[in-house]
């Protein structure tokens, strides 16, 4: 019988290849309706065999096969084969079903486990038995008593999306030629075996000389095949472009090149056709020479029956409504209408310059397209016999050239294709011949002679080099001479390097055969069949798939080795110096060539033949509990470190993992609410906390994040829609319900996940006793459930469901309780040196009364109680000097933990020990200003400044390290286990000591840090001239040189450089303004630039960040947000990594930065990226920044010019005289964080945001009040806006002190201040600052009287005036309510809202007004709020002291009008 499928099939099936190939349409959206049957009934003993061509991972289940007595000609096709009745036997998975009912549970091979390329067949034996055949092996009888008339059934179900019938013959014939594939008379290859890169690169010239076919009967077929293929190329009638072409086409190069004129003005009228019809099996191939980045759409190619001599050329070929088949994008258009939406995985719109596109009109009438030499399969089954090739230079495509294949590579490729199809042995490893002197010579891995333009192969193919490595940095691609075998390690040693370039060696594999591959300048430019490790990332077809995979190849030196291996399971692994880096990719095709790109610094490499010294290949990744995620840091002991927790690379359909495996998000969050389950990359240890922070939510859906644990391994988990659908080995918290295996065990648990908001932290931990605990914002919510099996591994699970869109793993994840951990952190976990006498920091002899110092002041122990454990550093800390201690002992009978910070209190000024007068705890220390971290709260003199700062100190265990330092920008930073938690406090005084409090659980610490200068001197090599140098000279000589930065010549096309490449300007449009520096950014060096010019005609503004790869080869996109490889970007007030948002509400909104703003980037010693605005550190923006990295600026929208700030370029607000640090200022001399003059008017630079839209809106409302201009300061530069962007740009703190005695007041965040004209003297500097909320109707009268009035003076009175009786004040003197914070005075009962229409936008807003006033000390009384609320209104001020009352005339001075608009 014929090996064909019946033309009637399931409704989603498409047949091709003469009804031998079946494909299920919409494979990602639909999983069934893929039923096909044999064309004729089976003959006894015939095995109807199909090959699995394609599978997808979207579904469960796979191919099903069997027989049915139902005639397909009249069959009503069900959705799946298991729905067939009336005498049907189906093998599904490893079960056998008859008429939909299971008759055999465990049978043969599991069909769900078959892979692409596997073959499965069905047979009715002569005795009426059903047999299943898998890859030529009989699985035995599955059923008996079958009727004689049966049709074969194949169901393309679930993962299986395409099959091809390969035979229908008795098994004896199939066993004799298991691998043989029947090819039609014109050598059309099956879809899986049509790639020339899978063919060997050595064959005999004649077909009869194969020698390995096993039968000489194949020789004539080979000869015939060659003749058929090459017959069209035996004439001198070359294939060229026809002289008649589109109106904008210009032909050149003897009509082999076509170019569209005016490509920036016109996008069509670029049709060209071949000068003659295409011959059968003749390849028509073009190369893309030029593209423009202006239009959408790109090149289109196809065939037409129209003769170019008679054709009236259309504007685009898809406008032709007859005789035309075109490939456009990734689809096929016939006569202008779409016939196949997704023809292939490549899109013509995404091809780059240098890519090849070809087509072939087969003798059978089938039309095939080729992308870079790879056959994309049948595009149209039947085409007319005479067709012309046609190319439409549309949109981005400007210039193409015909590529003639009259060369050995083309013949070799075609000959290999034919012999591969006819001979099962071609391309397989040949056994060693006993007659040869060197049996391994033919199999030895060598470099192929076809290599990059600037490369050369020497030493009999073992060594590759770039002879002119100092002149060129690319074109050094080399490939192996044969494909790699499974589990065969290809390893090279770097022989020679040059230090002129950035970047270095890259290694990987490709499906392309080097014999015919036109090698690109760098291998990462290849857009098909290629996997490369570059730097510390992995790229597939030029796109980054792993950002932080393994050891950075750019850091290797001469003598280091790199290797690659494709394992038997199809996974790809890399080696660096013999150390396995873990799995990098999966589903790698079997026949791949090794690739080495001698790029940048790498100048020469040699293949390492001797594999004896290599470590054994790691076991299969699915067999061990410590599988490392490709996104996790590469470490031999990575699986044992506490901070290696990441998200697994396997996840739900709608989930995306980024930021090195730390961040997970749900894509299409407004159209999809589920299918976004993510799981930890390894199992959790007992007592280990897995904590995430919610970074983004949407208000579109009901329900939110769900969290829990499962003992199902990620590799075994078929990810459901939601995790609560799993009915085994899973424990989840959903809302307030604890669920086990999908069933509710308990309601009203201590927390509600649906009520959490952005910024909330969720953690989960299994104890050693099998209890599951949840933590919300670091607080244990108690036991959620018990009885988790202790002998099973559990993985953390997060379901990004409903409102929850994005989460990130926090640095707090890790061991939580030493009593619960199975592998506690020990001192060996931290590679630190013991303190050395004369080098280490010391503790001061003045300390709390319960403290004893040991080890010459290097250790402190609390010997009693839980408090009185304050200790100080022996000396003041220098700028950027780290003071660090290690936790030695804890006592779990106490609560609380270590406190740490900085203080201006000098220990030498304290009385001698014992110091019973010292505060019992650091939070109560008030003698001088103290900044400290207690838990996760930052406090200043005990008053809360910031919550949820970094990891909580309450979780510290033995072995953890905590450090503090004062940075050069007057900020305090806390470090936990070496990780900088970012800016904790600002405006820290210069002369400060480190201070810590052995409080609560922590009873003993030891110093592990040392003085920077002393340490440097201790390790400095002896010098003969050192005695003659002063200390200052030594410090200067040892300081690292400051690298002068400049912009790189490679930049966006709208950029013009000047001023020795220090100034960059965008000269046209609003985009194409990308810049990078020519030099990498050294660690700890601040790179700053100034905004010179803004253009208000555009919206949005600049963005900045860093990239982790060399900019020399960077092809700049139109905007920075299009960079998707190793890029960290700060845009507006968000942080992006590879175009995905990882952080919101970071720093000021960059769109509001005015001209003169100085922005800076710094990467600290812990590889954390910091943004500086006018010298103020905004804290950590991103972590794990690679080294080297290059600063990046996008001059977008309003921002048109910037200049790099060097030592001789003044920064904004800079003074010509000696600069004075903010830490030197007395707080009593400051108003709103700015040093005052006698008239209290701040300098112009304190309000840098001259383009603030909020300030402009408030100003327009002020104008509507028609208040006389004489009441306001004439100079508008003294007005201050306290919106979020403006106060962050200034670096304002939330609270300041003023007056004598000093008293706290809060800045009016969210309000805008307009300075009032007032006659003041220096005496007013001693007055306090307060606020008064009032109504709009009372404004004019208050200004007229130049003093505050009671509520009775306004028709908008919201509170009655409080008048004294006859024995008190007279009734003419009002009582005025004030407050040190606008959080109280700005309440609606004091400052009622009024509605107004903005004259500019015509939108309605609500506004409030108030006054900022100066109050004479002693003229007011402090009292409680009168609102009757118990909730604190301001964290700095108690509700019992938040209201001030004054009745004295002249006791207040109006300072500014405050306006807030909603």
* Predicted confidence (pLDDT) per residue in 1415-1441, tens digit: 888 888 888 888 777 788 888 888 888
Confidence band for 801, pLDDT divided at 50, 70 and 90: very high
Mean pLDDT of the chain: 79
Structure tokens that stand for 156 in this block:
């393309």
Helix (H, G, I), strand (E, B) or coil at 1134: strand
Nearest to 875 by CA among 848, 857, 862: 857
pTM listed for this prediction: 0.34
In 891-960, DSSP assigns E strands to: 899-903, 930-934, 937-940, 943-946
* Cα(362)–Cα(195) distance, integer angstroms: 16
* Predicted confidence (pLDDT) per residue in 128-142, tens digit: 999 999 998 898 899
**241 and 402 Cβ atoms separated by less than 8 Å:** yes
**565 and 484 Cβ atoms separated by less than 8 Å:** yes
- pLDDT of 171 above 90: no
* Cα(328)–Cα(298) distance, integer angstroms: 8
Output DSSP code: residue 1322.
Answer: G
Quote the pLDDT of residue 8.
Answer: 94
Q: What residues have CB less than 8 Å from 1308, skipping those under 6 apart?
A: 1282, 1331, 1382, 1386, 1410, 1412, 1458
Nearest to 1434 by CA among 1423, 1426, 1442: 1442
* Cα(951)–Cα(975) distance, integer angstroms: 10
Quote the pLDDT of residue 1347.
Answer: 78
- pLDDT of 174 above 50: no
Task: Tell me the pairing of strands 1376-1378 and 1443-1446.
Answer: antiparallel
Quote the pLDDT of residue 1323.
Answer: 64
Confidence band for 274, pLDDT divided at 50, 70 and 90: very high
Share of the chain above pLDDT 90, in %: 33
Share of the chain above pLDDT 70, in %: 80
Nearest to 1184 by CA among 1208, 1160, 1167: 1167
* Cα(1085)–Cα(1170) distance, integer angstroms: 11
* Predicted confidence (pLDDT) per residue in 1399-1419, tens digit: 888 889 999 999 999 888 888
DSSP codes of every residue in 693-736: EEEEE-SSSS---EEEEE-S-GGG----SSGGG--SSEEEEETT
Asked if the peptide bond before residue 914 counts as cis, ω within 30 degrees of 0, the response is yes
- CA distance to 188, 784, 1315, per residue, from 778 (Å): 65, 16, 44
Quote the pLDDT of residue 815.
Answer: 66
Helix (H, G, I), strand (E, B) or coil at 1140: strand
Helix (H, G, I), strand (E, B) or coil at 493: strand
Quote the pLDDT of residue 704.
Answer: 92
**1348 and 1342 Cβ atoms separated by less than 8 Å:** yes
- CA distance to 55, 183, 192, 262, 280, per residue, from 19 (Å): 20, 14, 16, 47, 21
Structure tokens that stand for 372 in this block:
């870079």
- HEC string of 1359-1418 equals CCCCCCCCCCCCCCCCCEEEECCHHHHCCCCCCCCEEEECCCCCCEEEEEEEEEEEECCC
Quote the pLDDT of residue 882.
Answer: 92
Quote the pLDDT of residue 1039.
Answer: 45
* Predicted confidence (pLDDT) per residue in 206-216, tens digit: 333 333 333 33
**961 and 920 Cβ atoms separated by less than 8 Å:** no
Residue 179: Cβ-neighbour burial (10 angstroms; 0-12, 13-18, 19+): middle
* Cα(636)–Cα(938) distance, integer angstroms: 37
Confidence band for 1353, pLDDT divided at 50, 70 and 90: very low
Confidence band for 1382, pLDDT divided at 50, 70 and 90: very high
* Cα(1120)–Cα(1196) distance, integer angstroms: 9
**1444 and 1415 Cβ atoms separated by less than 8 Å:** yes
* Predicted confidence (pLDDT) per residue in 245-268, tens digit: 999 999 998 889 999 999 988 899
Q: Which residues pair with 976 in a beta bridge?
A: 962, 979
Quote the pLDDT of residue 195.
Answer: 35
- HEC string of 762-789 equals EEEEECCCCCEEEEECCEEEEEEECCCC
Mean pLDDT of 1058-1070: 90
Confidence band for 850, pLDDT divided at 50, 70 and 90: confident
Mean pLDDT of 977-1004: 89
Quote the pLDDT of residue 1235.
Answer: 36
- pLDDT of 1021 above 50: no
Quote the pLDDT of residue 1139.
Answer: 83
* Predicted confidence (pLDDT) per residue in 372-417, tens digit: 888 888 999 889 999 999 999 999 999 999 987 543 333 333 333 3
Helix (H, G, I), strand (E, B) or coil at 1076: strand
């Amino acid at each position: 019988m014929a090996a064909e499928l019946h033309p009637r099939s399931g409704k989603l099936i498409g047949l091709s290849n003469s009804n031998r190939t079946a494909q299920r349409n919409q494979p990602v959206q639909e999983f069934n309706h893929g039923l096909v049957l044999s064309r004729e009934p089976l003959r006894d003993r015939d095995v109807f065999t199909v090959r699995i061509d394609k599978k997808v991972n979207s579904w469960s289940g796979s191919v099903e096969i069997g027989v049915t007595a139902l005639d397909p000609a009249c069959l009503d096709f069900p959705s799946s084969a298991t729905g067939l009745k009336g005498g049907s036997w189906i093998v599904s998975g490893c079960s056998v079903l008859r008429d939909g009912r299971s008759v055999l549970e465990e049978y043969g091979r599991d069909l769900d486990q078959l892979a692409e390329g596997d073959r499965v067949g069905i047979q009715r034996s002569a005795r009426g038995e059903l047999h299943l055949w898998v890859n030529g092996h009989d699985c035995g009888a599955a059923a008996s008593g079958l009727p004689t008339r049966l049709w074969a059934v194949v169901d393309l179900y679930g993962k299986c999306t395409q099959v091809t019938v390969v035979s229908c013959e008795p098994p004896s014939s199939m066993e004799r030629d298991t691998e043989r594939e029947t090819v039609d008379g014109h050598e059309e290859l099956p879809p899986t075996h049509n790639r020339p890169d899978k063919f060997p690169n050595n064959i005999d010239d004649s077909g009869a000389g194969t020698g390995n076919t096993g039968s000489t009967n194949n020789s004539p077929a080979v000869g015939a095949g060659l003749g058929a293929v090459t017959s069209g190329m035996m004439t001198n009638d070359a294939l060229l472009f026809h002289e008649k072409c589109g109106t904008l086409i210009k032909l050149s190069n003897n009509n082999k090149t076509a170019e569209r004129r005016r490509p920036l003005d016109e996008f069509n009228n670029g049709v060209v056709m071949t000068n003659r019809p295409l011959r059968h099996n003749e390849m028509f191939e073009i190369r893309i020479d030029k593209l423009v980045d202006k239009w959408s759409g790109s090149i289109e190619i196809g065939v037409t029956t129209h003769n170019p001599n008679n054709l009236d050329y259309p504007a685009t070929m898809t406008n032709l409504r007859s005789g035309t088949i075109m490939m456009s994008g990734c689809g096929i258009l016939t006569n202008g209408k779409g016939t196949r939406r997704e023809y292939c995985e490549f899109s013509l719109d995404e091809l780059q310059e240098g890519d090849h596109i070809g087509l072939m009109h087969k003798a059978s009438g089938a039309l095939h397209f080729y992308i870079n030499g790879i056959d994309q399969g049948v595009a149209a089954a039947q085409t007319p016999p005479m067709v012309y090739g046609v190319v439409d230079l549309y949109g981005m495509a400007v210039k193409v050239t015909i590529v003639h294949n009259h060369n050995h590579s083309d013949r070799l490729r075609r000959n290999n294709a034919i012999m591969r199809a006819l001979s099962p042995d071609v391309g397989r490893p040949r056994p060693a011949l006993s007659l040869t002197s060197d049996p391994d010579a033919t199999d030895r891995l060598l470099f192929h002679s076809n290599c990059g333009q600037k490369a050369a192969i020497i030493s009999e193919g073992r060594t590759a080099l770039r002879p002119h490595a100092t002149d060129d940095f690319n074109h050094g691609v080399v490939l192996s001479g044969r494909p790699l075998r499974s589990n065969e390690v290809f390893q090279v040693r770097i022989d020679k390097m040059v230090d002129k370039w950035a970047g270095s060696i890259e290694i990987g594999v490709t499906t392309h055969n080097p014999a015919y591959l036109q090698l690109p300048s760098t291998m990462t430019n290849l857009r098909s069949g290629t996997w490369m490790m570059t730097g510390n990332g992995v790229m597939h077809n030029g796109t980054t798939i792993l950002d932080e995979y393994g050891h950075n190849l750019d850091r290797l030196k001469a003598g280091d080795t790199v290797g690659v291996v494709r394992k038997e399971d199809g996974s790809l692994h890399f080696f660096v110096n013999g150390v396995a880096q873990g799995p990098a990719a999966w589903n790698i095709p079997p026949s791949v060539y090794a690739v080495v790109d001698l790029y940048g610094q790498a100048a020469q490499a040699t293949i390492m033949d001797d594999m004896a010294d290599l470590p054994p290949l790691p076991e299969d990744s699915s067999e061990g509990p410590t599988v490392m995620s490709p996104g996790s840091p590469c470490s031999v002991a990575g699986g044992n470190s506490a901070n290696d927790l990441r998200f697994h690379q396997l996840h739900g359909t709608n989930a995306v993992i980024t930021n090195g495996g730390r961040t997970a998000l749900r894509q299409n969050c407004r159209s999809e609410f589920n299918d976004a389950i993510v799981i930890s990359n390894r199992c959790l240890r007992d007592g280990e906390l897995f904590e995430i922070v919610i970074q983004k939510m949407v208000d579109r859906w009901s329900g939110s994040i769900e969290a829990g644990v499962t003992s199902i391994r990620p590799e075994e988990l078929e990810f459901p829609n939601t995790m609560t659908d799993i009915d085994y080995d899973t424990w989840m918290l959903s809302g307030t319900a604890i669920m086990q295996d999908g069933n509710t065990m308990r309601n009203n648990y201590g927390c509600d996940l649906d009520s959490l908001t952005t910024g909330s932290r969720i953690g989960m931990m299994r104890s050693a006793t099998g209890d599951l605990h949840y933590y919300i914002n670091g607080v244990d919510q108690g036991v959620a459930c018990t009885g988790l099996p202790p002998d099973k591994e559990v993985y953390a699970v997060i379901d990004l469901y409903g409102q929850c869109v994005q989460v990130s793993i926090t640095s707090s994840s890790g061991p939580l309780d030493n009593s619960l951990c199975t592998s506690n952190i020990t001192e060996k976990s931290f590679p630190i040196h013991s303190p050395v006498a004369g080098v280490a920091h010391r503790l001061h002899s003045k300390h709390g009364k319960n403290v004893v110092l040991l080890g010459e002041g290097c250790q402190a122990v609390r010997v009693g109680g839980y408090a009185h454990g304050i200790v100080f550093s022996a000396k003041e800390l220098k700028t950027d000097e780290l003071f660090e201690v290690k936790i030695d002992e804890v006592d779990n009978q106490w609560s609380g933990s270590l406190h740490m910070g900085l203080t201006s209190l000098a220990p030498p000024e304290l009385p001698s020990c014992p110091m019973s007068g010292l505060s019992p705890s650091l939070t109560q220390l008030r003698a001088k200003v103290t900044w400290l971290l207690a838990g996760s709260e930052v406090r200043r003199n005990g008053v809360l400044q910031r919550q949820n700062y970094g990891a909580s100190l309450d979780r510290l265990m033995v072995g953890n390290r905590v450090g503090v330092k004062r940075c050069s920008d007057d900020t305090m930073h806390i470090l936990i286990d070496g990780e900088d938690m970012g800016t904790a406090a600002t405006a820290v005084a210069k002369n400060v000591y480190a201070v810590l409090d052995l409080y609560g659980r922590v009873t003993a610490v030891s110093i592990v840090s040392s003085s920077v200068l002393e340490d440097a001197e201790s390790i400095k090599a002896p010098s003969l001239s050192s005695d003659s140098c002063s200390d200052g000279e030594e410090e200067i000589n040892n300081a690292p040189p400051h690298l002068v930065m400049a912009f790189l010549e490679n930049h966006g096309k709208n950029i013009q450089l000047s001023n020795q490449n220090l100034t960059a300007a965008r000269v046209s449009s609003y985009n194409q303004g990308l810049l990078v520096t020519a030099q990498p950014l050294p660690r700890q060096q601040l790179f700053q630039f100034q905004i010179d010019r803004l253009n208000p005609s555009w919206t949005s503004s600049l963005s900045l960040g860093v990239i982790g790869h060399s900019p020399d080869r960077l092809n700049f996109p139109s905007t920075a947000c299009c960079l998707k490889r190793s890029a960290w970007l700060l845009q507006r007030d968000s942080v992006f990594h590879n175009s995905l948002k990882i952080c919101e509400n970071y720093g000021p909104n960059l769109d509001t930065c005015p001209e003169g703003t100085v922005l800076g980037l710094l990467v600290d010693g812990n590889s954390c990226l910091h943004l500086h605005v006018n010298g103020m550190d905004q804290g950590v923006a991103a972590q794990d920044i690679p080294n080297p990295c290059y600063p990046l600026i996008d001059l977008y929208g309003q921002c048109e010019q910037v200049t790099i700030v060097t030592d001789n370029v003044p920064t904004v607000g800079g003074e010509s005289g000696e600069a004075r640090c903010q830490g030197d200022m007395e707080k009593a001399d400051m108003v709103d964080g700015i040093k005052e003059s006698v008239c209290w008017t701040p300098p112009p630079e304190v309000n840098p945001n001259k383009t603030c839209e909020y300030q402009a809106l408030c100003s327009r409302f002020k104008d509507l009040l028609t208040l006389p201009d004489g009441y306001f300061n004439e100079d508008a530069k003294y007005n201050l806006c306290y919106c979020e962007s403006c106060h962050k740009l200034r670096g304002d703190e939330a609270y300041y002190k003023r007056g004598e005695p000093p008293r706290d007041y809060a800045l009016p965040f969210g309000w805008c201040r307009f300075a009032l004209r007032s006659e003041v003297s220096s005496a007013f500097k001693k007055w306090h600052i307060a606020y008064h909320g009032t109504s709009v109707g009372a404004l004019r009268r208050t200004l007229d009287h130049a003093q505050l009035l009671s509520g009775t003076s306004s028709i908008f009175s919201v509170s009655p005036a409080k008048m004294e009786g006859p024995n008190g004040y007279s009734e003419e003197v009002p009582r005025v309510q004030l407050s040190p914070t606008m959080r109280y005075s700005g309440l609606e009962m004091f400052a009622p809202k009024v509605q107004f229409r903005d004259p500019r936008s015509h939108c309605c807003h609500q506004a409030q007004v108030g006054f900022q006033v100066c109050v004479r000390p002693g003229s007011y009384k402090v009292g409680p709020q009168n609102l009757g609320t118990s909730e604190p209104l301001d964290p700095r001020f108690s509700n019992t002291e938040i209201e001030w009352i004054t009745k004295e005339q002249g006791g207040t001075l109006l300072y500014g009008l405050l306006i807030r608009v909603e």
